[in-house]
Chain A
Amino acid sequence: MEQQQRPDPLNRIDGAFFWAAAERGELAVQRCCKCDRLWHPPRPVCPVCHGQDMDEQVLSGQGRVLSWALSVHPRPFGFAEPPIAVLVEMEEGVRIVSTLEGVPLDEVHSDLAVKVDFVRSNGGKALPLFRPAETRA
Protein backbone atom coordinates (compact mmCIF):
# COMPACT_ATOMS: atom_id res chain seq x y z
CA MET A 1 0.00 0.00 0.00
CA GLU A 2 1.27 3.46 -0.87
CA GLN A 3 1.91 5.98 1.88
CA GLN A 4 0.48 9.49 1.51
CA GLN A 5 -0.86 11.99 3.95
CA ARG A 6 -4.50 11.22 4.84
CA PRO A 7 -6.49 11.15 8.07
CA ASP A 8 -7.17 8.06 10.15
CA PRO A 9 -10.56 6.33 10.17
CA LEU A 10 -13.12 7.37 12.78
CA ASN A 11 -13.55 4.00 14.38
CA ARG A 12 -16.69 3.30 16.42
CA ILE A 13 -18.07 0.04 17.68
CA ASP A 14 -20.84 -0.26 15.05
CA GLY A 15 -18.40 0.28 12.19
CA ALA A 16 -15.34 -1.56 13.51
CA PHE A 17 -15.88 -4.50 11.12
CA PHE A 18 -15.54 -2.13 8.13
CA TRP A 19 -12.06 -1.03 9.15
CA ALA A 20 -11.02 -4.54 10.18
CA ALA A 21 -12.01 -5.74 6.69
CA ALA A 22 -10.02 -2.90 5.15
CA GLU A 23 -6.95 -4.16 7.04
CA ARG A 24 -7.45 -7.48 5.22
CA GLY A 25 -7.74 -5.65 1.89
CA GLU A 26 -11.48 -6.22 1.68
CA LEU A 27 -14.40 -3.83 1.28
CA ALA A 28 -17.20 -5.05 3.52
CA VAL A 29 -20.61 -3.66 4.44
CA GLN A 30 -23.13 -4.65 7.05
CA ARG A 31 -25.51 -7.53 6.28
CA CYS A 32 -28.60 -8.37 8.31
CA CYS A 33 -28.47 -12.08 9.20
CA LYS A 34 -32.27 -12.28 9.29
CA CYS A 35 -33.27 -10.66 5.98
CA ASP A 36 -29.92 -10.50 4.13
CA ARG A 37 -30.27 -6.79 3.36
CA LEU A 38 -27.04 -4.81 3.05
CA TRP A 39 -26.56 -1.51 4.87
CA HIS A 40 -24.05 1.30 4.62
CA PRO A 41 -23.49 3.28 6.74
CA PRO A 42 -24.00 0.51 9.28
CA ARG A 43 -27.17 0.70 11.36
CA PRO A 44 -27.56 -0.34 15.01
CA VAL A 45 -30.31 -2.81 14.01
CA CYS A 46 -31.84 -3.67 10.61
CA PRO A 47 -34.23 -0.80 9.72
CA VAL A 48 -36.49 -3.19 7.78
CA CYS A 49 -36.83 -6.42 9.78
CA HIS A 50 -35.31 -5.15 13.04
CA GLY A 51 -32.92 -8.07 13.12
CA GLN A 52 -30.24 -7.54 15.72
CA ASP A 53 -27.71 -10.06 14.41
CA MET A 54 -25.60 -8.14 11.97
CA ASP A 55 -22.85 -9.74 9.93
CA GLU A 56 -20.66 -8.35 7.20
CA GLN A 57 -20.51 -9.06 3.50
CA VAL A 58 -17.41 -8.59 1.41
CA LEU A 59 -18.21 -6.71 -1.79
CA SER A 60 -16.74 -7.19 -5.25
CA GLY A 61 -15.19 -3.73 -5.01
CA GLN A 62 -16.75 -2.73 -8.35
CA GLY A 63 -19.04 0.25 -8.59
CA ARG A 64 -19.98 3.39 -10.48
CA VAL A 65 -19.65 7.05 -9.59
CA LEU A 66 -22.81 8.93 -8.63
CA SER A 67 -21.27 12.28 -7.59
CA TRP A 68 -17.98 13.85 -6.58
CA ALA A 69 -16.59 16.82 -4.65
CA LEU A 70 -13.14 18.34 -4.40
CA SER A 71 -12.85 20.68 -1.42
CA VAL A 72 -10.65 23.53 -2.59
CA HIS A 73 -11.29 25.99 0.23
CA PRO A 74 -11.00 25.34 3.07
CA ARG A 75 -8.61 22.47 2.49
CA PRO A 76 -9.65 19.18 4.04
CA PHE A 77 -8.02 18.33 7.34
CA GLY A 78 -5.34 15.65 7.33
CA PHE A 79 -4.64 15.49 3.59
CA ALA A 80 -1.43 16.50 1.80
CA GLU A 81 -3.52 17.41 -1.25
CA PRO A 82 -7.30 17.91 -1.37
CA PRO A 83 -8.75 14.59 -2.56
CA ILE A 84 -11.76 13.99 -4.77
CA ALA A 85 -14.44 12.72 -2.42
CA VAL A 86 -16.80 10.44 -4.28
CA LEU A 87 -20.18 8.78 -3.78
CA VAL A 88 -20.03 5.31 -5.31
CA GLU A 89 -22.89 2.91 -5.93
CA MET A 90 -21.48 -0.58 -5.53
CA GLU A 91 -22.67 -3.31 -7.89
CA GLU A 92 -24.37 -4.94 -4.88
CA GLY A 93 -26.54 -1.78 -4.56
CA VAL A 94 -25.17 -0.08 -1.43
CA ARG A 95 -23.55 3.35 -1.69
CA ILE A 96 -20.27 4.36 -0.08
CA VAL A 97 -18.45 7.67 0.27
CA SER A 98 -14.73 7.30 -0.39
CA THR A 99 -11.97 9.03 -2.31
CA LEU A 100 -11.25 8.76 -6.02
CA GLU A 101 -7.71 8.68 -7.35
CA GLY A 102 -6.04 8.05 -10.70
CA VAL A 103 -8.24 10.44 -12.69
CA PRO A 104 -8.15 14.24 -12.96
CA LEU A 105 -11.18 16.18 -11.73
CA ASP A 106 -12.28 17.26 -15.21
CA GLU A 107 -12.39 13.66 -16.42
CA VAL A 108 -14.65 12.39 -13.64
CA HIS A 109 -18.18 11.76 -14.85
CA SER A 110 -21.42 10.13 -13.74
CA ASP A 111 -21.38 6.35 -14.06
CA LEU A 112 -17.58 6.19 -14.25
CA ALA A 113 -16.73 2.56 -13.48
CA VAL A 114 -14.45 2.32 -10.47
CA LYS A 115 -12.79 -0.38 -8.39
CA VAL A 116 -11.66 -0.34 -4.80
CA ASP A 117 -8.04 -0.18 -3.71
CA PHE A 118 -6.49 0.31 -0.27
CA VAL A 119 -3.99 2.82 1.10
CA ARG A 120 -2.54 3.68 4.51
CA SER A 121 -3.59 6.62 6.66
CA ASN A 122 -1.23 8.86 8.61
CA GLY A 123 -1.59 6.53 11.56
CA GLY A 124 -0.92 3.45 9.43
CA LYS A 125 -4.56 2.33 9.17
CA ALA A 126 -6.01 0.82 5.99
CA LEU A 127 -8.39 3.07 4.05
CA PRO A 128 -10.44 2.05 1.01
CA LEU A 129 -10.34 4.33 -2.03
CA PHE A 130 -11.44 3.99 -5.63
CA ARG A 131 -9.68 4.18 -8.98
CA PRO A 132 -11.10 4.02 -12.50
CA ALA A 133 -11.73 0.34 -13.17
CA GLU A 134 -9.72 0.18 -16.39
CA THR A 135 -6.62 1.92 -15.00
CA ARG A 136 -6.28 0.36 -11.60
CA ALA A 137 -2.81 0.99 -10.23
Chain B
Amino acid sequence: MSKVRVLVGTRKGAFILESDGKRQKWDISGPHFAGWELYHVKGSPVDPDRLYASQSSGWFGQLIQRSNDGGKTWEPVDNKFVYDGVPGTHQWYDGKPHPWEFKRVWHLEPSLTDPDTVYAGVEDAALFRTTDGGKSWHELSGLRGHGSGSRWQPGAGGMGLHTILLDPSNSQRMYIAISAAGTFRTDDDGTTWKPINRGLKSEYIPDPDAEVGHCVHRIALHQSRPNVLFMQKHWDIMRTDDAGEQWREVSGNLPTDFGFVIDVHAHEPETIYVVPIKSDREHYPMDGKLRVFRSKIGGDEWEPLTKGLPQSDCYVDVLREAMAVDSLDSCGVYFGTTGGQVYASADAGDSWMPIVRDLPAVLSVEVQTLA
Protein backbone atom coordinates (compact mmCIF):
# COMPACT_ATOMS: atom_id res chain seq x y z
CA MET B 1 0.00 0.00 0.00
CA SER B 2 1.23 3.48 -0.75
CA LYS B 3 2.63 5.69 1.98
CA VAL B 4 3.14 9.38 2.31
CA ARG B 5 6.02 11.10 4.04
CA VAL B 6 5.76 14.81 4.83
CA LEU B 7 9.00 16.69 5.48
CA VAL B 8 8.48 19.79 7.58
CA GLY B 9 11.10 22.46 8.20
CA THR B 10 10.45 24.82 11.11
CA ARG B 11 12.08 27.62 13.07
CA LYS B 12 13.28 25.10 15.63
CA GLY B 13 13.96 21.85 13.84
CA ALA B 14 12.67 19.39 11.26
CA PHE B 15 9.78 16.98 11.65
CA ILE B 16 8.87 13.96 9.57
CA LEU B 17 5.25 12.84 9.39
CA GLU B 18 4.29 9.52 7.86
CA SER B 19 0.96 7.94 7.03
CA ASP B 20 -0.51 5.22 4.89
CA GLY B 21 -2.40 6.11 1.76
CA LYS B 22 -5.56 6.95 3.68
CA ARG B 23 -3.72 9.92 5.21
CA GLN B 24 -5.83 9.93 8.37
CA LYS B 25 -3.36 8.76 11.05
CA TRP B 26 0.11 10.21 11.20
CA ASP B 27 3.29 9.22 12.97
CA ILE B 28 5.51 12.15 13.82
CA SER B 29 9.25 12.04 14.38
CA GLY B 30 11.34 14.97 15.49
CA PRO B 31 12.51 17.47 16.20
CA HIS B 32 15.55 16.66 14.10
CA PHE B 33 18.30 19.27 14.59
CA ALA B 34 16.39 20.68 17.56
CA GLY B 35 16.74 24.40 18.03
CA TRP B 36 18.04 25.11 14.50
CA GLU B 37 16.18 26.75 11.67
CA LEU B 38 15.32 24.28 8.92
CA TYR B 39 14.59 26.33 5.85
CA HIS B 40 14.02 23.30 3.66
CA VAL B 41 14.05 19.51 3.65
CA LYS B 42 13.56 17.60 0.42
CA GLY B 43 13.96 14.05 -0.87
CA SER B 44 15.41 12.71 -4.09
CA PRO B 45 12.76 11.72 -6.63
CA VAL B 46 14.87 8.72 -7.70
CA ASP B 47 15.87 7.56 -4.21
CA PRO B 48 13.19 8.60 -1.73
CA ASP B 49 15.29 7.59 1.26
CA ARG B 50 17.94 10.12 0.26
CA LEU B 51 16.98 13.37 1.96
CA TYR B 52 18.75 16.71 2.13
CA ALA B 53 18.16 19.36 4.77
CA SER B 54 19.21 22.98 5.06
CA GLN B 55 20.00 23.67 8.71
CA SER B 56 21.07 27.10 9.87
CA SER B 57 21.31 29.40 12.84
CA GLY B 58 22.14 33.02 13.43
CA TRP B 59 24.94 31.88 15.69
CA PHE B 60 26.59 29.00 13.90
CA GLY B 61 25.77 29.56 10.25
CA GLN B 62 24.83 27.04 7.61
CA LEU B 63 24.92 23.26 7.68
CA ILE B 64 23.69 20.77 5.11
CA GLN B 65 22.52 17.40 6.37
CA ARG B 66 21.98 14.25 4.34
CA SER B 67 20.04 11.12 5.18
CA ASN B 68 20.22 7.79 3.38
CA ASP B 69 17.42 6.13 5.32
CA GLY B 70 14.43 8.40 5.00
CA GLY B 71 15.39 10.66 7.88
CA LYS B 72 16.12 8.09 10.58
CA THR B 73 19.79 9.08 10.67
CA TRP B 74 21.63 12.07 9.27
CA GLU B 75 25.17 13.08 8.50
CA PRO B 76 26.51 16.59 7.93
CA VAL B 77 27.99 17.13 4.48
CA ASP B 78 29.88 20.07 3.04
CA ASN B 79 28.63 23.47 4.16
CA LYS B 80 31.06 25.61 2.19
CA PHE B 81 29.27 27.87 -0.29
CA VAL B 82 31.85 30.13 -1.89
CA TYR B 83 30.90 32.41 -4.76
CA ASP B 84 32.76 31.77 -7.96
CA GLY B 85 35.61 34.19 -8.67
CA VAL B 86 35.35 37.77 -7.47
CA PRO B 87 31.80 37.96 -6.14
CA GLY B 88 31.16 41.58 -7.15
CA THR B 89 28.29 43.62 -5.82
CA HIS B 90 24.52 43.95 -5.91
CA GLN B 91 22.31 46.84 -4.82
CA TRP B 92 21.84 47.39 -1.11
CA TYR B 93 18.79 48.88 0.60
CA ASP B 94 20.31 52.33 0.29
CA GLY B 95 20.89 51.89 -3.42
CA LYS B 96 24.63 51.54 -3.05
CA PRO B 97 26.68 48.58 -4.28
CA HIS B 98 27.04 45.88 -1.65
CA PRO B 99 29.34 42.85 -1.83
CA TRP B 100 27.73 39.50 -2.33
CA GLU B 101 27.75 37.69 1.05
CA PHE B 102 26.59 34.15 1.68
CA LYS B 103 24.01 33.95 4.46
CA ARG B 104 22.03 30.72 4.16
CA VAL B 105 20.53 28.08 1.90
CA TRP B 106 16.86 28.71 1.28
CA HIS B 107 16.05 25.82 -1.04
CA LEU B 108 17.45 22.40 -1.97
CA GLU B 109 16.29 20.79 -5.21
CA PRO B 110 17.47 17.22 -5.80
CA SER B 111 17.97 16.18 -9.40
CA LEU B 112 15.20 14.28 -11.15
CA THR B 113 17.65 11.59 -12.26
CA ASP B 114 20.63 11.41 -9.89
CA PRO B 115 20.40 11.27 -6.08
CA ASP B 116 23.89 12.73 -5.72
CA THR B 117 23.08 15.86 -7.71
CA VAL B 118 21.34 18.66 -5.85
CA TYR B 119 20.81 22.34 -6.58
CA ALA B 120 20.91 24.87 -3.75
CA GLY B 121 19.36 28.30 -3.84
CA VAL B 122 21.08 30.65 -1.44
CA GLU B 123 21.00 34.14 0.06
CA ASP B 124 22.59 36.41 -1.21
CA ALA B 125 20.97 35.09 -4.34
CA ALA B 126 22.97 32.50 -6.21
CA LEU B 127 22.64 28.94 -7.42
CA PHE B 128 24.99 26.15 -6.34
CA ARG B 129 25.18 22.50 -7.34
CA THR B 130 26.68 19.37 -5.89
CA THR B 131 27.23 16.27 -7.99
CA ASP B 132 28.73 14.15 -5.20
CA GLY B 133 25.90 13.98 -2.70
CA GLY B 134 26.83 17.18 -0.92
CA LYS B 135 30.55 16.57 -0.44
CA SER B 136 31.27 19.77 -2.35
CA TRP B 137 29.24 22.66 -3.75
CA HIS B 138 30.04 24.79 -6.78
CA GLU B 139 28.31 27.92 -7.97
CA LEU B 140 26.59 28.13 -11.35
CA SER B 141 27.82 31.67 -11.65
CA GLY B 142 26.29 32.40 -15.04
CA LEU B 143 23.13 33.35 -13.18
CA ARG B 144 24.68 36.23 -11.25
CA GLY B 145 26.89 37.05 -14.19
CA HIS B 146 24.29 37.30 -16.92
CA GLY B 147 24.19 41.08 -16.75
CA SER B 148 21.52 42.25 -14.35
CA GLY B 149 23.02 40.83 -11.15
CA SER B 150 24.56 44.10 -10.08
CA ARG B 151 21.07 45.65 -10.15
CA TRP B 152 19.40 43.05 -7.94
CA GLN B 153 18.24 44.33 -4.58
CA PRO B 154 17.06 42.45 -1.48
CA GLY B 155 13.49 42.63 -0.27
CA ALA B 156 12.78 43.06 3.41
CA GLY B 157 13.26 39.34 3.94
CA GLY B 158 16.65 39.18 2.24
CA MET B 159 17.77 38.44 -1.29
CA GLY B 160 17.18 34.73 -1.50
CA LEU B 161 17.01 32.32 -4.39
CA HIS B 162 13.98 30.41 -3.15
CA THR B 163 12.53 28.40 -6.03
CA ILE B 164 14.21 25.94 -8.38
CA LEU B 165 12.10 24.09 -10.95
CA LEU B 166 13.68 21.38 -13.08
CA ASP B 167 12.08 20.67 -16.44
CA PRO B 168 11.33 16.92 -16.58
CA SER B 169 11.21 16.95 -20.37
CA ASN B 170 14.40 18.90 -20.97
CA SER B 171 17.46 18.27 -18.80
CA GLN B 172 19.04 21.49 -20.02
CA ARG B 173 16.23 23.72 -18.80
CA MET B 174 15.44 25.01 -15.34
CA TYR B 175 13.70 27.97 -13.81
CA ILE B 176 14.63 29.82 -10.65
CA ALA B 177 13.08 32.71 -8.73
CA ILE B 178 14.67 35.31 -6.52
CA SER B 179 13.26 37.83 -4.08
CA ALA B 180 13.44 40.58 -5.16
CA ALA B 181 14.92 40.13 -8.62
CA GLY B 182 12.39 37.96 -10.43
CA THR B 183 12.34 34.76 -12.46
CA PHE B 184 15.13 33.42 -14.67
CA ARG B 185 15.52 30.51 -17.09
CA THR B 186 18.45 28.54 -18.37
CA ASP B 187 18.33 26.36 -21.49
CA ASP B 188 21.89 25.07 -21.21
CA ASP B 189 22.02 23.36 -17.80
CA GLY B 190 22.80 26.50 -15.87
CA THR B 191 25.60 27.97 -17.95
CA THR B 192 23.68 30.99 -19.21
CA TRP B 193 20.47 32.58 -17.98
CA LYS B 194 17.87 35.08 -19.07
CA PRO B 195 15.33 37.02 -17.04
CA ILE B 196 11.77 35.97 -17.84
CA ASN B 197 9.63 38.67 -16.27
CA ARG B 198 7.81 40.19 -19.23
CA GLY B 199 4.22 40.87 -18.28
CA LEU B 200 4.88 41.33 -14.58
CA LYS B 201 3.85 44.70 -13.19
CA SER B 202 5.04 45.75 -9.76
CA GLU B 203 3.99 49.13 -8.46
CA TYR B 204 6.54 49.00 -5.64
CA ILE B 205 9.52 49.41 -7.98
CA PRO B 206 10.40 52.56 -9.93
CA ASP B 207 9.73 50.99 -13.32
CA PRO B 208 6.70 48.70 -12.81
CA ASP B 209 7.50 46.49 -15.79
CA ALA B 210 11.27 46.44 -15.46
CA GLU B 211 13.29 43.51 -16.72
CA VAL B 212 14.31 42.62 -13.14
CA GLY B 213 13.40 43.75 -9.64
CA HIS B 214 10.09 41.95 -9.18
CA CYS B 215 9.39 40.29 -5.87
CA VAL B 216 8.40 36.84 -7.04
CA HIS B 217 7.32 34.74 -4.07
CA ARG B 218 6.91 31.33 -5.69
CA ILE B 219 6.55 29.61 -9.03
CA ALA B 220 5.18 26.14 -9.77
CA LEU B 221 4.69 23.83 -12.71
CA HIS B 222 3.03 20.53 -13.53
CA GLN B 223 5.39 17.76 -14.59
CA SER B 224 3.38 17.01 -17.74
CA ARG B 225 3.42 20.61 -18.99
CA PRO B 226 6.68 22.27 -18.03
CA ASN B 227 6.17 25.26 -20.34
CA VAL B 228 3.24 26.41 -18.23
CA LEU B 229 4.28 28.17 -15.03
CA PHE B 230 2.15 29.64 -12.28
CA MET B 231 3.42 32.41 -10.04
CA GLN B 232 2.50 33.96 -6.74
CA LYS B 233 4.10 37.35 -6.98
CA HIS B 234 4.25 39.74 -4.02
CA TRP B 235 0.89 40.89 -5.30
CA ASP B 236 -0.74 39.12 -8.30
CA ILE B 237 -1.18 35.55 -9.42
CA MET B 238 0.42 35.11 -12.84
CA ARG B 239 0.75 32.41 -15.48
CA THR B 240 2.80 31.86 -18.58
CA ASP B 241 2.14 29.34 -21.34
CA ASP B 242 5.44 29.79 -23.15
CA ALA B 243 8.13 29.04 -20.57
CA GLY B 244 8.15 32.54 -19.20
CA GLU B 245 8.40 34.57 -22.40
CA GLN B 246 5.17 36.36 -21.49
CA TRP B 247 3.14 36.36 -18.27
CA ARG B 248 -0.47 37.36 -17.71
CA GLU B 249 -2.37 37.97 -14.53
CA VAL B 250 -4.92 35.37 -13.42
CA SER B 251 -5.84 36.73 -9.99
CA GLY B 252 -9.46 36.98 -11.14
CA ASN B 253 -11.96 36.91 -8.29
CA LEU B 254 -9.54 36.31 -5.43
CA PRO B 255 -10.37 38.51 -2.42
CA THR B 256 -6.70 39.51 -2.25
CA ASP B 257 -3.86 38.41 -4.48
CA PHE B 258 -1.04 38.89 -2.00
CA GLY B 259 0.42 35.65 -0.69
CA PHE B 260 3.36 33.33 -0.76
CA VAL B 261 2.52 29.77 -1.82
CA ILE B 262 1.23 28.36 -5.07
CA ASP B 263 1.08 24.77 -6.22
CA VAL B 264 -0.44 22.54 -8.89
CA HIS B 265 -2.62 19.44 -8.49
CA ALA B 266 -0.64 16.26 -9.16
CA HIS B 267 -2.96 14.98 -11.90
CA GLU B 268 -4.82 18.05 -13.15
CA PRO B 269 -2.43 20.56 -14.71
CA GLU B 270 -5.03 23.35 -14.69
CA THR B 271 -5.95 22.94 -11.01
CA ILE B 272 -3.94 25.27 -8.85
CA TYR B 273 -3.93 26.34 -5.21
CA VAL B 274 -3.05 29.55 -3.39
CA VAL B 275 -3.52 30.83 0.15
CA PRO B 276 -4.38 34.53 -0.08
CA ILE B 277 -2.91 36.71 2.65
CA LYS B 278 -4.53 40.05 3.43
CA SER B 279 -1.65 42.33 2.47
CA ASP B 280 2.05 42.98 2.66
CA ARG B 281 1.40 45.10 5.73
CA GLU B 282 -0.66 42.45 7.50
CA HIS B 283 0.77 39.00 6.99
CA TYR B 284 -2.35 37.07 7.97
CA PRO B 285 -5.51 35.85 6.24
CA MET B 286 -8.43 38.18 5.57
CA ASP B 287 -11.12 38.39 8.22
CA GLY B 288 -9.40 35.83 10.43
CA LYS B 289 -10.42 33.05 8.02
CA LEU B 290 -7.83 30.59 6.78
CA ARG B 291 -8.89 29.76 3.24
CA VAL B 292 -7.19 27.93 0.43
CA PHE B 293 -8.39 29.04 -2.98
CA ARG B 294 -8.51 26.61 -5.89
CA SER B 295 -8.88 27.28 -9.57
CA LYS B 296 -9.71 24.37 -11.84
CA ILE B 297 -9.13 26.31 -15.03
CA GLY B 298 -5.63 27.58 -14.44
CA GLY B 299 -6.59 30.83 -12.78
CA ASP B 300 -9.05 33.73 -13.14
CA GLU B 301 -11.90 31.86 -11.44
CA TRP B 302 -11.27 30.74 -7.89
CA GLU B 303 -13.28 28.95 -5.21
CA PRO B 304 -12.60 29.14 -1.47
CA LEU B 305 -11.86 25.87 0.31
CA THR B 306 -12.73 26.13 3.99
CA LYS B 307 -13.98 22.78 5.29
CA GLY B 308 -11.84 21.86 8.28
CA LEU B 309 -9.91 25.12 8.30
CA PRO B 310 -10.36 27.75 11.04
CA GLN B 311 -12.90 30.37 9.94
CA SER B 312 -12.55 32.81 12.78
CA ASP B 313 -9.75 34.42 14.77
CA CYS B 314 -6.99 32.89 12.63
CA TYR B 315 -3.99 35.13 12.07
CA VAL B 316 -1.24 32.80 10.90
CA ASP B 317 0.81 33.16 7.75
CA VAL B 318 1.70 30.53 5.16
CA LEU B 319 5.24 31.01 3.92
CA ARG B 320 6.47 30.49 0.36
CA GLU B 321 7.98 27.03 0.81
CA ALA B 322 5.13 25.67 2.91
CA MET B 323 2.79 23.99 0.42
CA ALA B 324 3.14 20.69 -1.42
CA VAL B 325 1.06 17.95 -3.03
CA ASP B 326 1.30 14.17 -3.06
CA SER B 327 0.66 12.03 -6.14
CA LEU B 328 -1.79 9.46 -4.83
CA ASP B 329 -4.86 8.86 -6.97
CA SER B 330 -6.82 11.32 -4.90
CA CYS B 331 -4.32 14.13 -4.79
CA GLY B 332 -3.27 15.21 -1.32
CA VAL B 333 -2.55 18.87 -0.62
CA TYR B 334 -0.54 20.04 2.39
CA PHE B 335 0.44 23.35 3.88
CA GLY B 336 2.06 24.59 7.06
CA THR B 337 1.54 27.80 9.00
CA THR B 338 3.57 30.14 11.14
CA GLY B 339 1.32 28.98 13.98
CA GLY B 340 2.82 25.52 13.77
CA GLN B 341 -0.07 23.67 12.16
CA VAL B 342 0.30 21.44 9.14
CA TYR B 343 -3.01 20.97 7.35
CA ALA B 344 -3.66 18.15 4.91
CA SER B 345 -6.39 17.41 2.45
CA ALA B 346 -6.72 13.89 1.07
CA ASP B 347 -9.38 14.97 -1.44
CA ALA B 348 -7.66 17.65 -3.47
CA GLY B 349 -8.68 20.44 -1.13
CA ASP B 350 -12.37 19.70 -0.57
CA SER B 351 -11.76 19.07 3.13
CA TRP B 352 -8.86 19.60 5.49
CA MET B 353 -7.55 18.39 8.81
CA PRO B 354 -4.56 19.41 10.90
CA ILE B 355 -2.14 16.52 10.92
CA VAL B 356 -0.05 18.26 13.57
CA ARG B 357 -1.01 21.38 15.50
CA ASP B 358 1.71 22.78 17.68
CA LEU B 359 5.04 22.75 15.90
CA PRO B 360 7.32 25.77 15.80
CA ALA B 361 6.57 28.16 12.95
CA VAL B 362 6.58 26.15 9.71
CA LEU B 363 9.05 27.29 7.07
CA SER B 364 8.71 24.50 4.52
CA VAL B 365 6.59 21.51 3.62
CA GLU B 366 7.53 18.82 1.12
CA VAL B 367 5.75 15.55 0.41
CA GLN B 368 7.02 12.21 -0.79
CA THR B 369 4.66 9.61 -2.19
CA LEU B 370 6.19 6.23 -1.40
CA ALA B 371 5.37 2.92 -3.03
Q: Do A and B come from one complex?
A: no
A interface residue numbers (CB < 8 A to B): none
B binding-site residues for A, Cβ under 8 Å? none
